[in-house]
Amino acid sequence: MLSNLAVRDVETLIHPYTNLDAHRSAGPLVLERGDGVHVYDTEGRPYIEGMAGLWCTALGYSNGELVEAAREQMAKLPFTHLFSGRSHDPAIELAEVLKELMPVPTSKIFFTSSGSEANDTQVKLAWYLNNALGRPKKKKIIGRQRGYHGVTIATASMTGLPANHTDWDLPLPGFLHVGCPHFYRFAEPGETEAAFSQRLADELEATILREGPETVAAFIAEPVMGAGGAIVPPEGYFAAIQAVLARYEVRFIADEVICGFGRLGTWFGSEALGMRPDTLSFAKALTSGYVPLGGVSVDEPLYEAMRAQSLKIGTFGHGTTYSGHPVACAVALKTIEIYKRERIVEGVAAKAPHFQARLSRLAEHPIVGEACGLGLIGGLEIVADKASRRQYEPKAGVAARCVAFAQAEGLIVRFLMGDRIAVCPPLIITADEIDALFDRLTRALDRTA
């Protein structure tokens, strides 16, 4: 029996990433409030938010300082923009703070309102750069199977998930995909992690050579894949990939939308995985998810090319109304201040061994094939047969069932393609809450088995 609110939801709302037909009978989970790592539904039932919302609410749900930062900025100057050289204090200060934090050479920061917009901007900037450098053919973009980069036409094209391509007439021409670095699922029998990584790098090189290096602009990768299954790359992966990119002057974009701002126990995921990207995209935990904000780092050669082009064309023709929204920038500044003051990133590094130990214990469960992660992110894969790694029929919806059982146990986690389940709690989670999270997930797995 759906509640009154649920009925009104079903009658009026289209939900992103939802089976719209099943939703008509299942209805929504309507949340009303949050406190720490918990959210509460309209009946007052508490849940551990084991996904930090959508991989974003790093500081949990009741941070009064963030609320106050938003309120103050709302009262002072709720809106102005950065078009035509106009500016404001929070954007300037935030760009300064971010420039200091960036693990890549950074000349300037360009703000967006979401991760999709940030990655879309990366594609446009890679194209713009090559036009400025007189290499108009160097435009192709390489992503990875199961990579996730957003939903705009370009970012859905870079994404390597069927749901973003099938019946959307995507990917666009000029967007290519190489293999997914998931050792458990895609390594060949007897292959070592290093050999698997090298095989993927060889595939990337073969793709670049087949297409012609003079046509390939950029390669994009998340440090740890999120929506594609919470997948940690194998040993040596990024070192091998980077060597190929450097040989053919292919720009390396790190998509730090999930891993940025502490998730892996370092400020950025690139640092945890030894990545040396040319630029990175960020969003989500920049504001702890309280207000939308994203952005990209702009290196000096790119900035010089942008400056030269805008001299030629008369303007830098890109940006949205809300790029660098003052309220969002004020909340981001406060968020980063709290990360530093509360030593949140160091706290993640300290808590991660306990989180990962509890996660790996799930690999002993009869229906779990793999359970591993990095920092405070984890993925597990449900299998029909552990020895052969055989999966259930997709129609069985076994991971979806497990997530529903978890919800009944008072835990929100997310099911992903390939019967994978992701766990990505707020960074402020305590050791006891980590235990409660995994106790509930274990009970959900027991009920699924």
Look at residues 229, 277, 233 and name the one whose alpha carbon lies nearest to residue 255.
277
The structure tokens 């309209």 sit at 42
x/- site string to ligand PLP, residues 10 to 49, per CB under 6 A? Answer: ----------------------------------------
Of 210-239, binders to ligand PLP (CB under 6 A) are 222, 226-227
Select from 114, 121, 266, 335 the one that contacts ligand PLP (CB under 6 A). 114
Select from 50, 53, 115, 265 the one that contacts ligand PLP (CB under 6 A). 115
Looking at the Cβ atoms of 16 and 314, the one nearer to ligand PLP is: 16
- Count of other CB atoms within 10 angstroms of residue 269: 29
* Segment near ligand PLP (CB under 6 A); pick from 30-38, 173-181, 199-207, 250-258: 250-258
Q: Is 150 among the residues that bind ligand PLP (CB under 6 A)?
A: yes
CB of 379 to ligand PLP, least distance (A): 13
The structure tokens 């059982």 sit at 405
Q: Fill in the DSSP letter of residue 392.
A: P
Which residue is at the shortest CB distance from ligand PLP?
Answer: 115
Q: What order of strands is seen across the sheet that includes strand 140-144?
A: 108-112, 294-298, 279-282, 251-255, 216-221, 140-144, 175-178
Q: CA 81, 85, 87, 93: dihedral to nearest 10 degrees?
A: 120
CB of 7 to ligand PLP, least distance (A): 28
399 in Cβ contact with 415 (< 8 Å): yes
# binding residues, ligand PLP (CB under 6 A): 16
Helix (H, G, I), strand (E, B) or coil at 63: coil
Residue type at 192 in one-letter notation: T
Q: How far apart are CA 335 and CA 262, in angstroms?
A: 12
Residue 243's alpha-carbon distances to 94, 222, 247, in angstroms, are 33, 17, 6
x/- site string to ligand PLP, residues 290 to 329, per CB under 6 A? Answer: ----------------------------------------
Q: How far apart are CA 237 and CA 23, in angstroms?
A: 39
CB of 155 to ligand PLP, least distance (A): 7
Q: Is 60 among the residues that bind ligand PLP (CB under 6 A)?
A: no
* Segment near ligand PLP (CB under 6 A); pick from 144-152, 185-193, 267-275, 377-385: 144-152
Q: How far apart are CA 221 and CA 236, in angstroms?
A: 15
Residue 162's alpha-carbon distances to 170, 229, 287, in angstroms, are 9, 13, 30
The per-residue b/e assignment along 301-313, b for 16 or more CB within 10 angstroms, e otherwise, is ebbebbeebeeee
Q: Is 157 among the residues that bind ligand PLP (CB under 6 A)?
A: no
Q: Is 149 among the residues that bind ligand PLP (CB under 6 A)?
A: yes
Of 255-284, binders to ligand PLP (CB under 6 A) are 255, 257-258, 283
Looking at the Cβ atoms of 293 and 345, the one nearer to ligand PLP is: 293
CB of 411 to ligand PLP, least distance (A): 20
Q: Is 116 among the residues that bind ligand PLP (CB under 6 A)?
A: yes
* Segment near ligand PLP (CB under 6 A); pick from 41-49, 142-150, 179-187, 397-405: 142-150
Residues engaged in binding ligand PLP (CB under 6 A): 54-55, 114-116, 119, 148-150, 222, 226-227, 255, 257-258, 283
